[in-house]
Amino acid sequence: MPSSAVVTGSSGFIGYHLCHRLLSEGWQVTGVDAMTDYYDVALKTARKSRLTALPGFRAIDAHIETPGVMQDVLAADRPDVVIHLAAQAGVRHSIDAPQDYLDSNIAGTYRLLEAARAHPPKHLLFASTSSVYGANTTMPYRETDKTDRQMSFYAATKKSCEVMSHSYAHLYGIPTTAFRFFTVYGPWGRPDMALFKFVRAILRNEPIEIYNHGRMQRDFTYVDDLVDGILRLIDAVPAPATHRGDTDSLSSVAPWRVVNIGNGRPVELMAFVEAIEAALGQSARKTMMPMQPGDVPATWASTDLIEALIGPLPRTPLPVGVAAFVAWYRDYFEV
Ligand SMILES: NC(=O)c1ccc[n+]([C@@H]2O[C@H](COP(=O)([O-])OP(=O)(O)OC[C@H]3O[C@@H](n4cnc5c(N)ncnc54)[C@H](O)[C@@H]3O)[C@@H](O)[C@H]2O)c1
């Protein structure tokens, strides 16, 4: 049944798609976003204006770490659910600008948790990342694996958000689900991510940089599939009675769980490049590069837990998802 949600990071790539879907299903949505200039703000503005054109949406431009901001939003709305996606994302940028990650991710999530303590939603859901698996090499990554060897400060801040939220779930009984997302892609995507960068470079006949000489695997997740997973997880509220056996990460002391949202089928980087070349009808000039600091050679999500919680996942085939991105890119940039 439609309800009310506060979504942070609503002008971001995933936040935009999530809000669009919630609104199309009749939800009332308040979106909070600082419109940061990590990448082209015009893209965020375009996403936001498409949301504000829909009934049921209210936009607030603010930094979540500013004291009082999230308190005021939750006090005014008393939403059924809070979906927290606002963050400074990106592994590579965290090497150059760690302070942004401290402020947006750690301080921002702390302020949000304090607001949820004062005005508890029925379910708090937030974005963590596959990067928290860090140096782990046992594949696929399971939510019950030990995760205390992050390889980048970005991942370290996301892991911190997971553990901070566990303490709030325990102390104040706030039902909380932390999602670990795996390389999300699709229309309206992020300019700092490989798909966007590769398509832009190929269309300009510029070389693309292939890290680790192509010896990379990623568990790519099409954004509509991800949003579908988030929506269905809203109803999977963690509670002591909902434990699902050996693969469940449900806490023994708190209504808290971490859940991978991935495709569960990793793809070689070169196969990804071929899908882009096919969608563009143009080949890429490739520059082979070493592994980037902070990066990991492979990601692969176990989907056992999410499928135990919500049933079978939609799995958009990579060529279909890549073609949808290319069609959007050509339309948006008129190229
Ligand atoms: N896209 C992926 O593949 C991926 C993978 C793993 C995790 N995630 C996580 O998912 C979430 C959404 O990612 P995305 O790809 O949509 O990124 P995005 O950068 O497009 O969206 C994040 C949004 O948050 C906003 N924001 C940043 N700092 C803020 C602050 N301090 N206060 C308020 N708003 C702020 C930004 O303006 C942006 O619109 C992030 O938490 C990210 O770390 C994404």
Residue whose Cα lies nearest atom 43 of ligand 1: it is 89
- pLDDT value of position 23: 98
- pLDDT value of position 234: 98
Asked whether 7 lines ligand 1 (CB < 6 A), one says no
Question: Does the annotation mark 168 as catalytic?
Answer: no
| 45 assigned to some structural domain | yes
Q: Which domain holds residue 87?
A: 4-185+223-263+300-315
Q: Tell me if residue 259 falls in helix, strand or coil.
A: strand
Catalytic residue among 16, 101, 141, 154: 154
Asked whether 100 lines ligand 1 (CB < 6 A), one says no
- pLDDT value of position 294: 85
With a cut of 50, which residues of the chain have pLDDT below it? Answer: none
Cα 94 to averaged position of ligand 1 atoms, centre (Å): 13
Closest ligand 1 atom, residue 16 Cα: 16
Alpha-carbon separation of residue 11 from 50, 95, 334 (angstroms): 10, 24, 22
| 15 assigned to some structural domain | yes
Complete edge-to-edge strand list for the sheet that includes strand 123-129: 57-61, 28-33, 4-8, 81-84, 123-129, 176-181, 256-261
Q: Which amino acid is at 100?
A: D
| 291 assigned to some structural domain | no
What long-range pairs does 2-5 form, CB within 8 A, spacing at least 24? 2/26, 2/27, 2/28, 3/27, 3/28, 3/79, 3/80, 3/81, 4/28, 4/29, 4/30, 4/77, 4/78, 4/79, 4/80, 4/81, 5/29, 5/30, 5/79, 5/80, 5/81, 5/82, 5/83
Q: Tell me if residue 57 falls in helix, strand or coil.
A: strand
Q: Which of 68, 60, 107 is nearest to 88 (CA)?
A: 107
- pLDDT value of position 45: 98
- pLDDT value of position 1: 61
**What gap in Å lies between CA 16 and CA 48, rounded to an integer?**
7
| 209 assigned to some structural domain | no
Taking the model in full, what pTM does it have? 0.98
| 206 assigned to some structural domain | no
Domain count, the chain: 1
Cα 282 to averaged position of ligand 1 atoms, centre (Å): 31
- The CATH number for 173's domain is 3.40.50.720
| 177 assigned to some structural domain | yes
CA angle 150, 297, 206 (to 5 degrees): 115
For a pLDDT cut of 90, what percent of the chain falls above it? Answer: 97
| 50 assigned to some structural domain | yes
3 within 8 A of 27, measured Cβ to Cβ: yes
Asked whether 189 lines ligand 1 (CB < 6 A), one says no
| 202 assigned to some structural domain | no
Which 8-state DSSP code applies to residue 132?
Answer: G
